[in-house]
Amino acid sequence: MRTHLRHGIATLVGVLVLFAALGARAEEVGAVAEIEGQAEVMRAGSTEWAPLKPGDAVQLGDQVRTPAGSKLKLLFRDDSVLTLAPNSQLKVDESVVGTAPVSSFSLFMGAIRAVVTDRYGAQGARFEVETPTAVAGVRGTGFITAYDATREETTVLGLVDTTGVRSKIDPGGAREVRIGPGQMTTVGRGSYPVRPVATPDNTLRSFTGSTEVRGAKPGAQSKGQTGGDPRIPKRAGQGALSPEGQVDQVVDQPQQQKGGKVRPPPPPVPDPRR
């Protein structure tokens, strides 16, 4: 009797664990928009890396990475976009869609460009990218975050609107700094963010160039080189129809006006494919 009971309990536990695992895998929070070169994913609960291709789902808890010479663009269900530079690794930690959306990511190495929708301007909304030394948080903006593991230093570049940057040793943000378009700050291990300064042109070109996917060349898709049409078909629960040409338009190099003020970005160019 006791033996049968133990077997029954063990079977029930196994079924519950299986259902939990299936539920976790089914929580899709985005999709691969484009790949330049190659990219890989390690699903939550796995220890194996698998190749990614355009259109593949991005799930909560996924880690994605790019090797040297490769870039990856991800489109999330809240219409925010993340683009990974070569030699980068990122984890999707949190994704909640609603009137006050919440998204958080961990950048272990490399650089990413984030374009965040105005949905994050709502009270209680939060979009954050965390590195081993810093946290960059925004409410509808564009910015670049990079982490140099050798120097143990985070660099954050403002592209659109305002980005808040705080140190990992300052979780309450008492010494948070805010950077605007064309500004940057750095945060070393055990240090606070330095005072924001104007981003040198060569630094801005380097970071924007490394986080821009040019798109597929004619015939490249058939050879498995890049991603084809960046407008991923909408999946259940995903808002994945943002025209990528418009997304990239707003994060071009900030233009300077007389007096050193930053000129607002140009309006989006209509997408001829729509």
Position 185 in a domain: yes
Please say whether the beta carbons of 84 and 110 come within 8 A: yes
| Per-residue confidence (pLDDT) for residue 265, from 0 to 100 | 41
Q: Which residue has the higher pLDDT, 183 or 218?
A: 183
Q: Express each pLDDT in 44-75 by its tens digit.
A: 999 999 999 999 999 999 999 999 999 999 99
Region 148-167: mean pLDDT is 96
Question: Is 264 among the domain residues?
Answer: no
Which of 234, 228, 206, 225 is closest to 215 using CA atoms?
A: 228
* pLDDT tens digits along 68-111: 999 999 999 999 999 999 999 999 999 998 888 999 999 999 99
Q: Is residue 261 part of a domain?
A: no
163 found inside a domain: yes
For residue 241, what are its two tokens?
């129809």
User: What is the pLDDT, as a whole number, of residue 8?
Assistant: 54
Taking the C-alpha atoms of residue 224 and residue 226, their distance in angstroms, rounded to an integer, is: 6
Quickly state the pLDDT bin for 274 (edges 50, 70, 90): very low
List pLDDT tens digits, range 121-135.
888 899 999 999 999
Over range 167-196, report the average pLDDT: 97
19 within domain boundaries: no
Gap between the Cα atoms of 3 and 210, Å rounded? 61
What's the pLDDT at 214? 81
Tell which residue, 52, 40, 43, 11, has the closest CA to residue 24. 43
**Burial class for 81, CB neighbours closer than 10 Å (0-12, 13-18, 19+):** buried
Amino acid at 149: A
- Beta carbons of 122 and 138 less than 8 angstroms apart: no
Question: What domain count does the chain have?
Answer: 1
131 occurs within a structural domain: yes
Say if 130 falls within a structural domain: yes
Residue from 142, 194, 190, 189 nearest 165 by CA: 194
Tokens 């058939």 found at: 222
Q: 171: pLDDT confidence band, cut at 50, 70 and 90?
A: very high
For the stretch 20-45, pLDDT in tens is 544 445 589 999 999 999 999 999 99
Domain enclosing residue 119, as ranges: 32-254
Rounded CA gap, 255 and 247, in Å? 17
> Do 48 and 42 meet the contact criterion of CB atoms below 8 Å apart?
yes
Average pLDDT over residues 228-240: 35
Cβ atoms of residues 254 and 143 within 8 Å: no
250 contact partners, CB below 8 Å, separation of at least 6: 115, 142, 159, 160, 265, 268
In the block, residue with structure tokens 């981003």: 199
Check residue 7 and report its DSSP letter: H
For residue 42, give the CATH number of its domain: 2.60.120.1440
**166 found inside a domain:** yes
pLDDT at 122: 83
Higher-confidence position of 263 and 199 = 199
Q: According to the model, what pLDDT value does residue 189 have? A: 97
Question: Taking 90 as the threshold, does the pLDDT of residue 185 lie above it?
Answer: yes
pLDDT value at position 54? 97
